[in-house]
Amino acid sequence: MVGETTKSERTPLLPLRHEQGDFFVCDIFDAAPKGDMASMAHPIFTLSTKPDTKKRRYEAPDGESYVEIRPNMIGLATMHDRDVLIYCISQVMAALKDGKQVHRTLRFKAFDLLVATNRPTAGTGYAGLKSALERLQGTQIETNITTGGVEQIDGFSLIDRYRIVRETRDGRMLDLEVTLSDWTFNAIAGNDVLTLNRRYFQLRKPLERRLYELARKHCGTQPEWKCGLEKLKARTGSTSSEKEFRRLVRAICKADEEHDHMPDYTFRLLADVLIVTPKQVFLDHYAPAPKQERVSGAYIIPLSPETLERAREVAPTWDVSVLADEWRSYAARQKEPPKNPDRAFLGFCRSWFAKRGRNGY
């Protein structure tokens, strides 16, 4: 696919188009960019940079959940179109952090989004943003995947609607209104989101962005995550041949080894297995407390993002953060910390739900 092609003469990262001092966008960089875990786990967005009009369907190994993506005539939403959703999710999460009331419809300035997502603010940036909105609204999804404890089995768009509130005479949009889909808003309400590195917006290749998302989703703060190329190809949504996909992944791993450009994680290809390990600076930020350190009578035991997502399925309607606090307090009363924290926490959630049912917080 054209969007996955590597060129050795280009630098691995896009230039940082705006100085840090330029960021004045609703404190978005206090909360950091965030993506919803459902679309991080599943290949919703195309890796191609040319119009992709192919319908796709992905099913879970157990056959119980599925995602079907249907483009309209202008093509599927792309990995770079996802920037709009990341920006919107980040704005809502920042508002929630400040105790503000939030709605599915957001109003913001187009310039702010372009700056926050490292896009050009010239005419091409506004034209690209308008095309991204059209593809996001036109891409239809049917799924029974749960977000925020709510299962949807109907079809919907990535965004329900968008509206250009004001537009300058030269065609540049000023104010935008975007209405998020219930699927995305449910993910926000259920805190089914993960913080992304700001350098994500500098990743040049769609496949690099997708690999980072998968690492963030499946590796988290675990020591290592491995994935065979066959399964990785399905998870990325790549339509390249197996040989070409192997070449593309190998090229990204080589560039990362030479330039250390991939955020938060190190990517290495051994035979036909991608090995992902978190970088120390990432671990220091997200899991600074030792596993056996006591704080206020409880062990601070980090749990992987994948485990927290699984806990929402094991104990639906219950607040996972509350369950995590309860479990850590329980673990602190034991003589020894659990050998496998993630497995122990899920067992605790199953027992909790069996005793208390669906009367969640």
322 assigned to some structural domain: yes
HEC per residue, 70-84: ECCCCCCCECCCHHH
168 assigned to some structural domain: yes
- Cα pseudo-dihedral 124, 13, 19, 282, rounded to 10: 130
Residue 21: what are its φ and ψ, rounded to 5°?
-65, -15
348 assigned to some structural domain: yes
**Domain identity same for 301 and 237:** no
Counting the structural domains of the chain, the total is 3
**Domain identity same for 296 and 348:** yes
Domain boundary among 159, 175, 202: 202
**Domain identity same for 133 and 231:** no
Position 5 scores a pLDDT of: 47
Position 151 scores a pLDDT of: 64
The CATH number given to whatever domain includes residue 276 is 1.10.10
**Domain identity same for 198 and 281:** no
Distance CA 123, CA 127 (A): 6
Domain boundary among 248, 264, 287: 287
User: Could you report how far apart the first and last alpha carbons of the chain are, in Å?
Assistant: 47
**Domain identity same for 297 and 332:** yes
Going by DSSP bridges, is the β-strand pair 225-228/175-180 parallel, antiparallel, or unpaired? unpaired
Residue 193: what are its φ and ψ, rounded to 5°?
-135, 155
**Domain identity same for 90 and 129:** yes
Position 146 scores a pLDDT of: 62
Domain boundary among 185, 202, 219: 202
Is the distance from CB of 91 to CB of 84 less than 8 angstroms?
no
250 assigned to some structural domain: yes
Residue 309 is part of which domain span?
291-356
Distance CA 73, CA 220 (A): 37
4 assigned to some structural domain: no
In order along its 361 residues, the chain shows pLDDT tens digits of: 545 544 445 678 877 776 544 333 344 444 467 788 878 878 899 999 899 999 988 877 666 778 889 998 899 999 999 999 999 999 888 888 777 888 899 999 999 999 999 999 888 899 999 999 999 999 998 887 665 666 657 788 999 999 998 888 777 788 999 999 988 888 887 778 888 988 999 999 999 999 999 999 888 888 899 999 999 999 999 999 999 999 999 999 999 999 999 999 999 999 899 999 998 877 776 654 444 444 444 445 778 878 888 888 888 777 777 788 778 777 777 777 788 888 899 988 888 888 776 544 4
**Domain identity same for 188 and 81:** yes
1 assigned to some structural domain: no
DSSP, collapsed to helix, strand or coil, labels residue 265 as strand
